[in-house]
Amino acid sequence: MPQHLLSDIRGLVCPMVTPFAADGALDLAAARQVVDFLIAHGVQVLFPAGSTGEGALLTQAEREALAAAVVDQAAGRVPVLVHTGAITTAETVALTRHAQAIGASAASVITPYFFTYDEESVFAHYLAVAQAVPDFPVFVYAFPGNAKNDISPALLARLRAAAPNIAGFKSSNGDLIRFQEYMDAIGPGGVPLCGVDGLMLPALALGSMGQVSGNSNAVPELFRRVYNTFRAGDLEAARAAQSAVNRARRALHDGVPLAYFKAALTLRGVPGGRVRAPMRELTPAQIDQLRADLQTLGVL
């Protein structure tokens, strides 16, 4: 199996959905089909067990099984960036060690969540994770809207200095100024990733190396078009591609609820599976509207 470098983590990064069966069980066979669909449609990095993947609703054993299945199915075709952030430091360390052991390319770790933590607590958490896997890249995942706790640019710079394997960041806070400050903090050689789909093109212009897009589960080819046209220097085509992405975001409601992404996959002939309670499924009327919207977007 080919080994990927840190520099390979770039382009379209898909935080893939996690399919569940009707009884709520993890459906790894369906997850493998999702992997193949995403790679075939231009996804350049797979990101299992993240927010879009309902990672917080999975047990540790389920997360490990999912990560192993994704790495196995990807079979070296693309890098796999496993989300290993958990509510405790101990579980985060265990999941990160597991990601390294199964041959993942890197780990992404969201800030500790639910409780409010001061900066020293967050620093100690990330340092413990990074030091547990000193030769394995770790990405800092900033999503204060969901996780409650934020990462300051100063803290990111401090982490980068303390642990060289703090290799990059994913920013989902929707602030381009903060994104640029994170880029300054991570410094040369770091990998900046944007997690807000409406900012894909401007973030690329600032120096983002990739877009982590939940919406790309449903329409990966539209997001890949933004990346390809920007890299080719065709800004007019890139702006048009970003406009198509924005239309897709509205059709998919940015995955609120996440069932939109899974339903879109199913409509495209891929078993997206069910969501896990307390998530809810789409209504028949929502599915009908989604079908019409995907037809308008040209993917059905």
**Burial class (CB within 10 angstroms; exposed 0-12, middle 13-18, buried 19+) of 59:** exposed
Residues 6+ apart with CB under 8 A from 184: 153, 157
140: which strand partners? 109, 169
Least Cα distance to 6 among 132, 159, 193, 158 occurs for 193
Known catalytic residues?
141, 170
User: How many C-beta atoms lie closer than 10 Å to residue 11's C-beta?
Assistant: 19
Nearest to 66 by CA among 42, 86, 83, 44: 83
- How, if at all, do strands 106-110 and 138-142 pair? parallel
